[in-house]
Amino acid sequence: MKVIIAAAGTAGHINPGIAIANKIKEKEPNSKIIFIGTSRGLENDLVSRSGYELKTIEAYGLSKKISINNLNNILKTIKGIGQAKKIVKKFKPDIIIGTGGYICGAVILAGKKYKIPTILHESNAHPGKAVRMLSKKVDKILVGFEEAREKLGVKEKTVVTGTPVKMKDLNLSINEKEQKLKKLALSPNKPLVLVFGGSQGAKKINDTIIDIIKQKLNNNYQIMWATGPNQYDNIKQELQNEDIDIERLNGIKIVPYIYNMEEIMNISSILVCRSGAMTITEIARLGKAAIFIPLPNVSENHQEYNARVLEKLGAARVILNDELNAKNLNDNINSILSSKQNLEQMGINARMLNVNNVEEKIYDEIQKLFLN
């Protein structure tokens, strides 16, 4: 099988594409797969690290505002469709897969020109603009959430497969969890609240945790906090100005970045984080209670839509970015932890969103279309 995967911009678009490529390679070692992206996004790092060839074209997200910059982006994107057509014509794929983002438009349209079967995968609960625009043109749409299927309005060709993630439930025993907490110089007798704001951190979340530390509010829980590499030194200095030594805090572990995130998520009781599709999927897989602070000002407010899905299931609480403060967050953490039964039920509710054998389901749908 020869496959083109269109994926660009963020890890949330690119990693599902790589996971799909890996599954195809596992099933069909002789398959040929190339990615199409732009020269600007994370695909330039992530795709090459995964061992796949990346072809780049011009493609831009388009704004409704009338401006010279937007006009230039429209002209460049039209040029990108031509570039995509040349790649498709030369490579002659059996199937084209888009995993979201503005790159999909050019590549899917190029595929339709040569009558290539096309598939889109949408990770978010609220489908992105590109997926909605292309929904009637593609042959099949795979989604991470039932809510996305409802919103697209093309149910007959939309399948809920889930979104591929690397995160696994380690099924740690109580003793194993205690040992891992001790290794972090944390107590096995207090619940752990994991706080992170994505790979670069989130200033609003960070400022709130600083206030919790300054006010010594975390009496009932411990904190494992990833600040983001670019914010760590400033936070260390800010706490130092208050005579707080970041290295000697009791019950609080502060790091720039968590490299063993799977392990830390498995030993945590509550997660405080943004609500990207990958994070939501990981939380559902592990069955964890969460407090979401959706990233504001993102395309179509998709992070809040994602967070509300788990909130409706009784698996999470949502605090909007401009409503977040130390008291609000601390009150929510203590409220969840006040009942062990409630904490466990939130985890059970989160698992209701989990989809097993995601990559297998996606591969089956690809095969069905390929063999038609």
Question: Which string of b and e fits 83-96 if b means at least 16 CB within 10 Å?
Answer: bbbebbeebebebb
Which pLDDT score is estimated for 353?
Answer: 95
Looking at residue 144, its amino acid is G
**What is the residue range of 29's domain?**
2-162+356-371
204-260 per-position pLDDT tens digit: 999 999 999 999 999 999 999 999 999 999 999 999 999 999 988 999 999 999 999
Beta bridge partners of 32: 2
**Rounded alpha-carbon distances, angstroms, from residue 262 to 92, 189, 194, 314:** 39, 21, 12, 23
Q: Which is more confident, 79 or 317?
A: 317
250 in the same domain as 147: no
**Averaged over 111-128, what is the pLDDT?**
93
Within this chain, do residues 124 and 273 fall inside the same structural domain, yes or no?
no
Residues 182 and 201 reside in one and the same domain: yes
Residues 37 and 129 in one domain: yes
What pLDDT is recorded for position 3?
Answer: 98
Is the residue at 249 inside a domain? yes
Whether 212 is in a domain gets the answer yes
> Cα 219 to chain center, whole Å?
31
Averaged confidence pLDDT in the chain: 92
Residue 28 sits in a domain whose CATH number is 3.40.50.2000
Q: Per-residue pLDDT averaged across 94-103, rounded?
A: 90
Q: Is position 52 within any domain?
A: yes
Integer Cα distance of 170 and 149 in angstroms? 30
Q: Are residues 104 and 236 in the same domain?
A: no
Nearest to 340 by CA among 289, 291, 292: 289
Number of domains observed in the structure of the chain: 2
pLDDT in tens, 166-199: 899 999 999 999 999 999 999 999 999 999 997 6
At residue 115, does pLDDT exceed 70? yes
**Residue 17 belongs to some domain of the structure:** yes
Give the C-alpha separation, 79 to 352, whole Å.
Answer: 44
pTM of the full structure: 0.89
Indicate whether 68 and 111 sit together in one domain. yes
Provide the pLDDT confidence category of residue 62 given band limits of 50, 70 and 90. low
In a domain, 169, yes or no: no
Residue 168 lies in a domain: no
137 and 14, same domain (yes or no): yes
Q: For the beta carbon of residue 157, count every other beta carbon within 10 angstroms.
A: 15
Query: Does the pLDDT value for residue 202 go beyond 60?
Result: yes
Same domain, 86 and 142: yes
Q: What is the mean pLDDT of residues 95-105?
A: 89
Query: Would you say residue 134 lies in a domain?
Result: yes
Q: What pLDDT is recorded for position 218?
A: 95
Summarised one tens digit per residue, pLDDT across range 254-299 is 999 999 999 999 999 999 999 999 999 999 999 999 999 999 988 7
pLDDT of residue 73: 63
Residues 218, 148, single domain; the answer is no
Let me know if residue 115 belongs to a domain: yes
For residues 281 and 323, state if they share a domain.
Answer: yes
Residue carrying structure tokens 């984080």: 273
> Is residue 74's pLDDT more than 80?
no
Distance (Å, whole) CA 188 – CA 92 = 57
139 and 22 together in one domain? yes
Phi and psi at residue 154, in whole multiples of 5°?
-130, 60
In the predicted structure, residue 318 carries a pLDDT above the cut 80: yes
Mean predicted confidence (pLDDT) in 134-140: 93
Position 308 pLDDT exceeds 70? yes
Both 313 and 212 in a single domain? yes
Q: Are 131 and 120 in contact (CB under 8 A)?
A: yes
Mean pLDDT across 35-47: 91
Q: How far apart are CA 47 and CA 41, in angstroms?
A: 10
Which residue has better confidence, 215 or 67? 215
